[in-house]
Amino acid sequence: MITQLKARTRADRFLNDVRANQKSRRNYGRYFYIIALLAGFAYLGNLFGGHLLWLRAEGLVLSDHVIIASPYAVQVTRMEAQPGQAVKQGDILAHVSSPQMMEAMATLTSKAAETTARQAELAIKLEVANAVMKSADERLKETEAQLRKVNTSRAGSGFVSDAFVANVQKDRYFAMQEKASREAERRGTIEQLAQLDLSLSEARLALQQLRLSYNNGVIEAPSDGTIGPKTTVQGDVLRPGDNLMQLYVGTKYALVYLETGSLYETKVGDRVTVADGFKQTNGRIAEIQPLTVPLPAEFQRAFRPPSRGQVAKIELENEAIFPMSSKISVAGRRWWPFRSERRGPG
C-alpha cells in the first residue's frame, strides 16, 4: 500500500532562487523609489514655482555712493587711491592738471589787476574834480557878488554901461557852466568807482571759488568711505563731468528685487534671512518702493523675456560678512506668508 509520494524537484526551480523568497519579506526598494520621485517633483516645483508661493528673492549688497567727478577738463597726473581702499574725509585721492582752469584763473587775475589800476586812475580824477569843484564854486560866488554890486550901482546912480553888465553876466554864466560840468564829472567818477568796486568784488569772488574748486589740482575725499571697483589711471584725460571714481559711504544694505503677482505678502518690518553661500545673517525690510525696474544682467534667466522686480531695501544685522556688490539671496522667515484678506460682515 502506498502511503507517501516521493517529492520531486522541479526543473525550472533552483535552490537559491530569489523569487521564491520575495513573498516572505517586504520590498522596501519601491518605497525608496516613490519617496525619491516625490522629492524630485517637489524640488522641480520649488525651482520653477516656489518664488510665487513664499519669499525668495535675489539682490546685491550696496551702500550709498558719491561720484567723484571734475566739472572741468583735467588730466590725471597721479592716482593716490586704489579700488577697494578705505579712505577718510580729506584724504588725497588724485592729483590732476587743468590748463583750462589755469587760463581762467589767469584771466580773472588779470581782470582784477586792470580793475584795480582803473580804480586808481578814477580816484586821482575824483581828487582833481573835488579840487576844481571847490575853485568853480568860489568863482561862481565871486561873479554873483559882482553882479549884485553892479545891479545895485546901476539902480542907484545909473552910471554903469550895458556892456559892462553884459560881461559880468557872461562871467557868471561861464562860472555856473563850469560848476555844473565839474559836478557832473564828479558824479560820473563816483558811479564808475562804485561799478568798478562791484566788478572787482565779483572777479575776486569768482577767482576764490575757482581756486577752491581746483584746490591746486588735488582731489580730496568728501567723506569717509570705500573706493569703488573702477578708477581712472595716471595719464587719463577727462572731459567735464566724467567720473574719476565712486566712493561708497555709509552702512551697507541689501537691495533686492521682489517678485510681483505672488501669493505671499511682503511688508515693511518683516524679518528675513540674507545669505551668500554659507554666510548668512538676519535682516529687516526697511523700505519697499512702489515701482519695478529691470533686473540686472546677472539676474536675468536665459531663454526667457527680460524680468522685472519690485525694489526693496533690507537692513543687515551683520553687514561686515558681505563684500560690497556681492550677490545675495533673501528668504522669508514666516511659516504662513500668504496674503490675508479681511472680509466685512455679511
Q: What is the pLDDT of residues 169-207, one digit of tens each?
A: 777 777 777 777 778 788 888 888 888 888 888 888 988
Burial 277-308 (b: 16+ CB within 10 A, else e): eeebbebebeebeeeeeebeeebeeeeeeeee
Strands (E), the chain: 56-69, 74-79, 86-87, 92-97, 218-220, 225-231, 237-238, 243-258, 271-276, 279-294, 308-316, 327-332
Banded model confidence at residue 345, pLDDT cuts 50, 70, 90: very low
Distance from C-alpha of 260 to C-alpha of 266, rounded to nearest angstrom = 10
Of 88 and 333, the structure prediction assigns the larger pLDDT to: 88
Distance from C-alpha of 200 to C-alpha of 42, rounded to nearest angstrom = 80
pLDDT of residue 245: 92
pLDDT of residue 313: 94
**Other Cβ atoms closer than 10 A to 311:** 17
Percent of the chain whose pLDDT exceeds 70: 82
Nearest to 242 by CA among 227, 258, 231, 229: 231
Domain count, the chain: 2
pLDDT of residue 129: 77
Q: Is 16 inside any structural domain?
A: no
Banded model confidence at residue 343, pLDDT cuts 50, 70, 90: very low
Q: Compute and round to an integer the Cα radius of gyration of the chain.
A: 48
Q: Is 1 inside any structural domain?
A: no
Q: For 97-135, write each residue's pLDDT tens digit.
A: 998 888 888 888 888 888 888 888 888 888 877 777 777
Distance from C-alpha of 136 to C-alpha of 225, rounded to nearest angstrom = 72
Average pLDDT along the chain: 81
Domain that holds residue 271: 52-91+224-332
Residues 312-325, mean pLDDT to the nearest whole number: 91
Using the predicted structure, report yes or no on whether residue 222 has a pLDDT greater than 50. yes
Residues 279, 307 share a domain: yes
pLDDT of residue 50: 64
Residues 108, 211 share a domain: yes
Banded model confidence at residue 51, pLDDT cuts 50, 70, 90: low
Last residue of a domain, one of 216, 246, 273: 216
Banded model confidence at residue 25, pLDDT cuts 50, 70, 90: low
Last residue of a domain, one of 216, 238, 270: 216
pLDDT of residue 91: 92
pLDDT of residue 317: 92
Distance from C-alpha of 231 to C-alpha of 76, rounded to nearest angstrom = 11
Banded model confidence at residue 265, pLDDT cuts 50, 70, 90: confident
Last residue of a domain, one of 216, 243, 268: 216
Which range has highest mean pLDDT (75-89, 120-134, 289-303)?
75-89
Which range has highest mean pLDDT (13-27, 31-45, 175-189)?
31-45
Q: For 238-258, write each residue's pLDDT tens digit.
A: 998 888 999 999 899 999 998
Q: Is 20 inside any structural domain?
A: no
Residues 205, 59 share a domain: no
Using the predicted structure, report yes or no on whether residue 344 has a pLDDT greater than 60. no
Q: Is 63 inside any structural domain?
A: yes
Banded model confidence at residue 286, pLDDT cuts 50, 70, 90: very high
Residues 71, 103 share a domain: no
